[in-house]
């Protein structure tokens, strides 16, 4: 099947699902974290998919496409950091964090493959 839109990409769907999981989990964070950890983890997790969507529109230009995917990968790494921080602060259980980290590693691997072959994603 030929992908017609960013929201058909498996990596985008996974990123969106992770962002929603994080949103639900972060509702339980203490109120004093509202403008720090809660805000940061929500922003970075949402930026992963947003950058994939933006990259999709730039795929005609392989360097721009790869650059936006690299931004997405960076936000994904930032999300990993905030997940570890939430675990260290005992806001999330280790088992929950490990599941989410595995999903973010999968996102990173998929993004890495796309970044390595931007020409494969150009519109025809």
pLDDT confidence band for 1 (50 / 70 / 90)? low
Assigned CATH for 7-119: 1.20.1440.60
Residue spans of the domains in the chain: they are: 7-119
For tokens 């796309």, the residue is 114
For tokens 């339980």, the residue is 28
Q: What is the pLDDT of residues 36-45, one digit of tens each?
A: 999 999 999 9
pTM of the model: 0.95
Query: What is residue 2's predicted lDDT score, i.e. its pLDDT?
Result: 86
């Amino acid at each position: 099947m030929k992908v017609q839109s960013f929201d058909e990409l498996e990596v985008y769907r996974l990123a969106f699902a992770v962002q929603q999981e994080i949103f639900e989990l972060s509702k339980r964070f203490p109120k004093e974290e509202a403008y720090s950890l809660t805000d940061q983890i929500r922003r970075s997790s949402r930026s992963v998919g947003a950058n994939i969507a933006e990259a999709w529109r730039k795929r005609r230009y392989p360097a721009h496409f790869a650059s936006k995917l690299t931004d997405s990968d960076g936000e994904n790494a930032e999300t990993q950091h905030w997940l570890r921080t939430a675990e260290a602060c005992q806001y999330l259980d280790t088992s929950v964090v490990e599941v989410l980290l595995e999903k973010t590693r999968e996102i990173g691997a998929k993004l890495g493959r796309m970044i390595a072959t931007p020409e494969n994603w150009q519109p025809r």
